Amino acid sequence: MHPSSEVIYGLVNWLSPMLLGLHIYLHWEEIEMHVAVIQRVALYGLLFIGCYGIYQFYSPPIWDLMWLKNLPGGLASSTFGRPESQQIRVWSTLNAPGPFADVELAMLFLLVPRRSRFKLLALAVGFYSLMLSLVRTAWITGAAGMLYLARSGNKRLFLSVVLGMGAACIGLAVLANSPLNMPMLQDRLKTLGDLKNDESVQDRTRLYTGLTSELLTVPVGIGLNNADFYQGYPLDSGPIRMLLNLGWFGTSIYSVGIARILLLMRPRNGGNDLTVVSSYAIVLSFIFQMLSGLIFISSTGAMFWVAVGLGLASATEKAELRLAEYSSATIPSFFKPRKPERGADLSSLEAD
């Protein structure tokens, strides 16, 4: 019996982001190069997808309008908005507003420790396009992540985060009361103070109520798949989707692994390593989003596991350096074994 294409796709969707993070972690000796490359990609990627997202909102291209018109659910899709100028929930070059907001959020955090003349422009474009996605979960968890960065203990980081959050608050206040014709954004901002009557919150409440008894009857889950609906309910919940895909036992093992990662990544030394601090902020922000979606797969999962890989690799590098310093101070040099460099000729060592 051969596995179906849906099972294979589900397996790849779960494994490929994790393997990306594993690759970064296993090559921890090259962490400085990885950090530089990933931060550079985040800088120019944020500029590109952010600018396109803003353009998409104010002057949507014909291909985006045609795609939106042919979405299941018709024009009244609450997920993507309406195919009209300033009526779209921005998704830029991704496939939906949710994944776009998560990728934007991760790139914003990755840029915090980087120094570049384009940094302020990229942060401004990224923040504005993130607001245009109308994804409140990303807004709230992003704010929580910024508060974590502010209390990390690094003075330079604290000052930049506080100034950034102050500017963001002023910008939000201006947008919420702006005379500009932006009803979608303004209405979305106002719903933050009235979540009890919000349609999205009510839908997720019905989801948890309706599928709780179902989950008790299928402890092994229903297997890996790419389904967005189950029993007529949209699977906008990370825990429920994990239980359906992995079962009780699989979800328990996976959760223990995530908890272990959080302990290993926890910044030490007063938050001096900005790579570890920003990576930990990404991981925490995404973990907080679990109630509204599964964050371990697809593009969101790629950003999550990249942050995990960077954080663990940086922590490993620091641990190896401390061990080397301790060994140098306590072990006489003539007792130390010779360690070949990577790519060095080993023939002389073998002759010994």
Please state, for a pLDDT cut of 90, what percent of the chain lies above it: 34
CA pair distance 162, 169, nearest whole angstrom: 11
Compute the residue count for the chain.
Answer: 352
pLDDT reported for residue 213: 76
Q: pLDDT at residue 148 above 80?
A: yes
State the pLDDT confidence band at 63, using cuts at 50, 70 and 90: very high
pLDDT reported for residue 14: 93
pLDDT reported for residue 3: 62
The per-residue pLDDT of the chain, averaged, comes to 80
What is the average per-residue pLDDT within 55-84? 80
Q: pLDDT at residue 146 above 90?
A: no
Residue 338 is assigned to a structural domain of this protein: no
pLDDT tens-digit map of 71-110: 776 544 667 888 888 888 999 999 889 999 999 999 999 9
More confident: 224 or 72: 224
Instruction: Quote the radius of gyration of the chain (alpha carbons, Å).
Output: 23
Residue 257 is assigned to a structural domain of this protein: yes
| Residue-wise burial string across 159-193, b where 16 or more C-beta atoms lie within 10 A, e elsewhere | ebbeebeeebeeebeeeeeeeeebebbeebbeeee
Q: pLDDT at residue 1 above 70?
A: no
Q: pLDDT at residue 35 above 70?
A: yes
State the pLDDT confidence band at 210, using cuts at 50, 70 and 90: confident
Residue 352 is assigned to a structural domain of this protein: no
More confident: 202 or 220: 220
Q: Which of 63, 144, 137 is nearest to 100 (CA)?
A: 137
pLDDT reported for residue 178: 61
More confident: 281 or 346: 281
Residue 212 is assigned to a structural domain of this protein: yes
Distances 307 to 106, 147, 280 between C-alpha atoms, Å: 8, 18, 7
Q: CB-based burial of residue 142 (10 Å sphere; 0-12 exposed, 13-18 middle, 19+ buried)?
A: buried
pLDDT tens-digit map of 103-130: 999 999 998 888 888 988 898 899 889 9
Structural element, H or E, at residue 229: strand 229-230
CA pair distance 21, 306, nearest whole angstrom: 5
Three-state SS for 133-165 is CCCHHHHHHHHHHHHHHHCCCCHHHHHHHHHHH
Q: pLDDT at residue 331 above 60?
A: no
Residue 275 is assigned to a structural domain of this protein: yes
How many domains does the structure of the chain reveal?
1
pLDDT tens-digit map of 151-162: 775 666 666 666
Beta-carbon contacts of residue 126 (< 8 Å; ≥ 6 apart): 46, 50, 104, 107, 108, 111
Residue 199 belongs to domain spanning: 5-325
Structural element, H or E, at residue 313: helix 298-330
Q: pLDDT at residue 171 above 60?
A: yes
Q: pLDDT at residue 184 above 70?
A: yes
Pick from 85-94, 126-135, 239-248, 296-305 the range whose average pLDDT is largest. 296-305
Residue 332 is assigned to a structural domain of this protein: no
Residue 195 is assigned to a structural domain of this protein: yes
More confident: 341 or 192: 192
What is the average per-residue pLDDT within 44-67? 93
Residue 348 is assigned to a structural domain of this protein: no
Torsion-angle region of 269 (φ positive above 0: left; ψ -120 to 50: alpha; else: beta): left
pLDDT reported for residue 338: 46
